[in-house]
Structures are given as structure tokens and as C-alpha cells.
Structure 1
């Protein structure tokens, strides 16, 4: 049985899910997206994702084809129709189909696509063992705070990391780490969690926001500031966060072991807290 997708107002089998060749998401990467995790058949941090989606659309002067309530209903319907207990819902909104022109069209109807993926989130082998990363130059555009679908350079960086025998990359600009290819980056120095402050240089991660809140509630010290690769290589711990990896320990940076080369206690505890709180708050 094929998955059911949502395409521009209709629930369709994945083999029938099609968009126009003139869609500006296809031609210009003129679109935004969100990924919402599913645990126990419930959506995690949906409100945060919906709020960030609204901001991304606003920054690009792009209308939404649905209301927030309608979007929640579509998410839930797809989870139900596809029997998703653990996995994700991917959402993409584009400016719509129009003749190819760099100027925004004024009469295009925005396009919307959603689909689900079954994925192991909690019992992740990478979370148990930790991941290895390398640092690479950050060659992305300057508005990384908008969650657009233009993800070619992060994909290139991910592939370069794999070519170097690592799992992922942290991108570096002006000597400081910005973020990972698809996640926010953190180090732990002593008892302090350090992660880059929000700005146009990084995406305001929904999981980042939740994890920092949980850390502070657990009386952990948090510093939001830029840090260097050298600081990261000498850190006691390192980890990343994202909607589908939650809190994922980093055990090696550029071939240098972090701590004793195994997931550290801060990352492990934050992962436990995040999963516990997310299960309770899912909708």
C-alpha cells in the first residue's frame, strides 16, 4: 500500500502526487518547509513549527494556502491515514506555478505538499553511539533564519563529510561555527552549554528552543554565543539538535575525540528530558 500525500487540497496516493513543472519551488527554490516529528502517533512541537512557518512565509511575502487549524487537521489526517506511530510529517509551501520570471508573480496560487515518513527516532543507533563531524566553510546565503527549500549546499557539505569518513559537518564562518547541515550545534565546557545566539546566520530551531528551556529548568547553565572550531575540539561534550534527531551526541570533531569519545552525560540527560516532555506534550 502506497503512502497518502496531500497535494494542493487533495489526499492522493504517492504515485499520483504531482506538481506543475512551473512551480517556483521547483524552478527557483521559492518555497519554505517544516518537518514535524511524530511519537506515539502524536505531533511534537506542532505550534512551534507552525509559528516558524508563518514567519518564514512572512519574510518572503508569501501567502499561506491554509490556516493554522487546517494545517493541523491535515497533519493529523496524514498521520492517521498512513498509520504513523513514529516518524515525521514533511510540509512544503511554495509561491505556486507561474511563467518563469525572477520577479514574484502577483496572481499565482501558493502550492502546498505534505507527506509522511516512518522513521526510528527514539532507539536511534546514532544517538547511542554518537556521531562524528568535520568542519567546513559555510557557503550558504545570508538569510539562514528563513527555512527555505534551497538546501543544495548543506547536501554538498553532508556528502563531503561522508567522503571524509564522518557523519555530518558543522559549517564555519569568520572562524566560528554557525550550525550543522540540518541541525543546531552545541558544546559543553565544564558545566556550561554553549550554542550560537539567534540571528540571520542560523535557523531558530524548534528543538533548540525546547532543549534550552529544559536545560534551564534543570538548572543547567546556558551561554548563547558563537564558539570556534578550536573550542569545540577541546570541549568536554558536543551535541546537535533537530526535529528528527532530538538531542544527538557528537563524539569526534575533525578526528579529535570529544571527552572520552563516547556520548557525554549532559547530552544523554537532555535527550531523556526532551523525549519524556515531548511524549507528554504531543497533540
Structure 2
């Protein structure tokens, strides 16, 4: 199996999604990919345990991608070795009435990871410059000053939102949240195949909705807005990675490997030293406990 270099997927210059592969065409067997993933996820689980004891950083994993790009199964497979207390998954759907009474970033702020933990955003704050750009009428539900009709939503409005998202990510990264963002780059043809499988497999019928077809019709618009959002928000403090997603097994391994490699940069994440007084009295404590037998 060819080695994976996370830098090959990191956005460091303006990208065109149409120029990037959705499938690496790696010749590795399914077993080989699973073995590689198994090795990395065990390492990730171990580093989360150390993070919990260190209690200085939280990690925010942002997953974006079109319907059927594999976000749910990736979360299940990459993080299944984690201690359940160390990882929390948030799936952001249409804002509810309580969320709409706050600004659009509020529900994301309150879901940020505690120190020592991972939080996974399955769909993220970027929905506010993706879905709402494709369907700007959704913005009217936010009851914003000066926005009475769709025509009031100008290009400047979207520029301001992108700037606010950059500020949000800069703020949280400066306060101990490690931000890693992944776009699962799926081809339109592969999405067609996956939607057909949902329809053909009775056990998975429930996953299909008519809305999937409606959103598929907007594919080109979504690609345009994804491209723009990624290019304008790919920062060192909150990098974007474009992950080929036609091969689910490979996509999971790539994401896990990137997270692992990024975490290695934080050399200060270590288990805390035992208090000197306690360390000096270890033998006494052992004798006391053994004496209870």
C-alpha cells in the first residue's frame, strides 16, 4: 500500500475542486486499508487519553461533504477505539426555534470540545455559507436587522460571514482548541451509485429522502460555494484537507492519518508529573495498602 502524506491533501494555495481527484485509485486491498486504519485509530485513542490528563487542549474535527459522502460511517470507524468520555459528536441539522433566537454561530460555540476531549462536527458552521447560499431564503428565518427579503442578501453579506467564521476559528484556536477541517470530496457519479444502493437495499431505504434529489440538482452551486469557502478559510490555525471520498475505506484512513500527524506537532501534550511529595512516599503508600490484606 502506498504511503499517505497528509500534506498532499492540505489546502495551502487556492484550489479548484474539479482539478482534484475523488479517488486515489490506490491498489491496496480492503484488508490492508483496514489494518492501516486499525493501527492509527489505536494511536489516536492513546493520545486522547494523554490529552485528557494533560487538560490543556480540545480538538475540533469538522466534517463537510455532500450527501452520501460517508461522514457518519467515517465517524463510527475512525473514533470507535476512543473512550466514550473523550469524544462527542454533534450533527448540525436545520436550526431549531431556540437556536434561531441566537446568532448563527451560537450553537457551534456551545458545542465546542472541553479541554482534553475531541468534538466532531458532522456538518458544521460552514452550512451557514453553503446551504444558505444555495437556498438564501433560509436566512430570513434568522430575523436579521435589515434583511426583510432575499433581495436584501448582498454579496457583501456573504463576505462578512466568511470573515466572521475566520475570526471564530482564530479565537477558539488561540484559546486551546485544535481545529482540523475535512471536505470529503465525492464525485457526482459515485453519489448516484450510493443513492441507488439506498433505494435498492430495503434496510437502507430509510436513509433516502426526496430532498436528496433536490439537493443533487444543485450540485454545481454547492461545488462553487464549497470552493469559495475553502479557499477563503484555509488558515494555518484552522487548515482544510480535501479528502478523496469515492473509496470510503481509504477516506477513513486518510482522515485518521492526518489527525494523528497533526497531533504529533503538539509536543507539549504529556501526562502530568506526579506530585513530588506523593512520588517520595510511594513505597509508604504501597506498604499501607498491602497491610490491609
TM-score, length-scaled by structure 2: 0.22
The structure carrying a bigger helix percent of its residues is 2
The structure carrying a bigger strand percent of its residues is 1
